[in-house]
């Protein structure tokens, strides 16, 4: 009997160390890859040290969070490079053991990272991405939420690929003249949801039409791919809070966008083609409870609510926010969700251990 007890004791210790050591060094801290030689780019390295283990290397990076975004860990020598940015790696590189260099991205400072660590309250968070600080508002709904992007984050022009990874939907928040806020989850029209993702750009409009108000910086949210938006006679539009707002494109003009302007210049183009379709996301918006309100400010270059230009078609509609009075501004929230691995009960504790202790 006592032998059996000892066996389980030893087993428990093994399991614990397995979780702490093996899992710590894996994706808990960030995405980790063995990278191919071609991907290694030393021009992002700002510092090197002898760390001995990937975990120590990651922790050295964490302690310099404002400048360090990723690391290279050279397995043979134990050398660790602290990087100010990220490189493009493909998932398949995990299997490619052509180098003994591991690459780990440390990007857990945003809303998703906080959720992962079990810190669930909604609120404003500033963290580092590519050496630049980014401010977002985390709106948490249990196991997922939305990172509302501050005007400051758009103005810093740091790529938002990490914040806006999830491309099946986007949350728009409207500020009404009385100060109340409403929200709409925007997706593709039902018929396109399985086929096309949304696209997000900063100061670019790849293949789409350029903003009529050429004011920078801006966040560009595109619906149908431009190849499709070009086709006359197709059904186009968007879905807001489960309702399709559609139209048939009359001229193949590839406008299928929402643009949010983060700067403080005034619009110099004023146009409105007010339709049910172009208003759908506003009329379908659901009231938000005051405890989830995004901070508002009347400094035009701060906060979250922005002037916007919404343009669809063809015959969809065109709305510039300076031409309407029922909405003052709109904010953009990108969805984030907990990783499946973090659904484990003790994950937040292990995650903290990983960050705080020296496991090796």
Ligand X SMILES: *[C@@H]1O[C@H](CO)[C@@H](O)[C@H](O)[C@H]1NC(C)=O
3 Cβ contact list (under 8 Å, min separation 6) = none
- Whose Cβ is closer to ligand X: residue 96's or residue 119's? 96
- Whose Cβ is closer to ligand X: residue 168's or residue 352's? 168
In DSSP terms, which residues pair with 273 in a beta bridge? 318
- Whose Cβ is closer to ligand X: residue 9's or residue 250's? 250
- Does residue 167 interact with ligand X by CB under 6 A? yes
Q: How far is the CB of 202 from ligand X (least distance, A)?
A: 16
- Please identify which residue in 20, 24, 44, 294 interacts with ligand X, judged by CB under 6 A: 44
- Whose Cβ is closer to ligand X: residue 59's or residue 220's? 220
- Please identify which residue in 45, 241, 246, 253 interacts with ligand X, judged by CB under 6 A: 246
Point out which span in 36-44, 109-117, 201-209, 348-356 binds ligand X (CB under 6 A): 36-44
- Whose Cβ is closer to ligand X: residue 35's or residue 140's? 35
Q: In whole angstroms, give the CA distance from residue 311 to residue 126.
A: 32
- Whose Cβ is closer to ligand X: residue 113's or residue 316's? 316
- Please identify which residue in 268, 270, 341, 352 interacts with ligand X, judged by CB under 6 A: 268
- Please identify which residue in 235, 286, 349, 357 interacts with ligand X, judged by CB under 6 A: 235
- Please identify which residue in 241, 248, 253, 322 interacts with ligand X, judged by CB under 6 A: 248
- Does residue 274 interact with ligand X by CB under 6 A? yes
- Whose Cβ is closer to ligand X: residue 119's or residue 234's? 234
- Please identify which residue in 12, 157, 269, 286 interacts with ligand X, judged by CB under 6 A: 269
- Does residue 298 interact with ligand X by CB under 6 A? yes
Q: In whole angstroms, give the CA distance from residue 279 to residue 308.
A: 13
Q: Number of residues in contact with ligand X, rule: CB under 6 A?
A: 26
Point out which span in 5-13, 19-27, 58-66, 264-272 binds ligand X (CB under 6 A): 264-272
Question: Taking CB under 6 A as the rule, which mask of x and - marks residues 92-131 in contact with ligand X?
Answer: ----------------------------------------
Q: Which of residues 52-91 bind ligand X (CB under 6 A)?
A: 85
CB atoms within 10 A of CB 148: 27
Question: Taking CB under 6 A as the rule, which mask of x and - marks residues 212-231 in contact with ligand X?
Answer: --xx----------------
Q: In whole angstroms, give the CA distance from residue 294 to residue 272.
A: 27
Q: Which of residues 173-202 bind ligand X (CB under 6 A)?
A: 195, 197
Residues that bind ligand X (CB under 6 A): 41, 43-44, 85, 165-168, 195, 197, 214-215, 235, 244, 246-248, 265, 268-269, 272, 274, 279, 298, 324, 326
């Amino acid at each position: 009997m006592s032998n059996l007890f000892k066996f389980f004791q030893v087993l428990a210790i093994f399991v614990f160390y397995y979780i702490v050591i093996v899992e710590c060094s894996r994706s808990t801290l960030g995405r980790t890859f063995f990278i191919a030689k071609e991907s290694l780019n030393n021009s992002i390295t700002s510092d090197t040290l002898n760390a001995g283990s990937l975990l120590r290397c990651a922790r050295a990076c964490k302690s310099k969070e404002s400048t360090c975004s990723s690391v290279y860990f050279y397995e043979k020598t134990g050398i660790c490079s602290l990087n100010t940015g990220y490189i493009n790696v493909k998932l398949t590189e995990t299997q490619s053991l052509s180098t003994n260099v591991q690459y780990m991205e440390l990007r857990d400072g945003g809303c998703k990272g906080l959720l992962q660590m079990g810190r669930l309250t909604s609120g404003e968070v500033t963290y580092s991405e590519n050496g630049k600080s980014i401010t977002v508002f985390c709106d948490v709904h249990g196991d997922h939420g939305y990172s509302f992007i501050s005007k400051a984050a758009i103005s810093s022009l740091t790529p938002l690929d990490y914040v806006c990874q999830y491309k099946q939907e986007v949350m728009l928040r409207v500020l009404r003249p009385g100060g109340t806020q409403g929200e709409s989850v925007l997706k593709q029209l039902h018929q396109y949801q399985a086929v096309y993702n949304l696209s997000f750009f900063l100061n670019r409009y790849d293949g789409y039409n350029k903003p009529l108000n050429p004011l920078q910086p801006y966040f560009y949210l595109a619906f149908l791919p431009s190849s499709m938006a070009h086709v006359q006679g197709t059904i186009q539009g968007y879905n807001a809070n489960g309702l399709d707002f559609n139209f048939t494109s009359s001229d193949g003009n590839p406008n299928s966008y929402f643009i949010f302007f983060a700067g403080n210049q005034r619009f110099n183009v004023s146009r409105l083609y007010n339709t049910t379709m172009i208003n759908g996301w506003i009329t379908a918006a659901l009231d938000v409870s005051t405890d989830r309100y995004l901070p508002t400010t009347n400094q035009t270059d701060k906060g979250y609510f922005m002037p916007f230009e919404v343009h669809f078609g063809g015959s969809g509609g065109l709305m510039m926010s300076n031409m309407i009075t029922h909405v003052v501004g709109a904010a953009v929230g990108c969805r984030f969700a907990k990783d499946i691995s973090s659904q484990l009960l003790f994950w937040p504790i292990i995650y903290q251990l990983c960050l705080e202790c020296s496991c090796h």
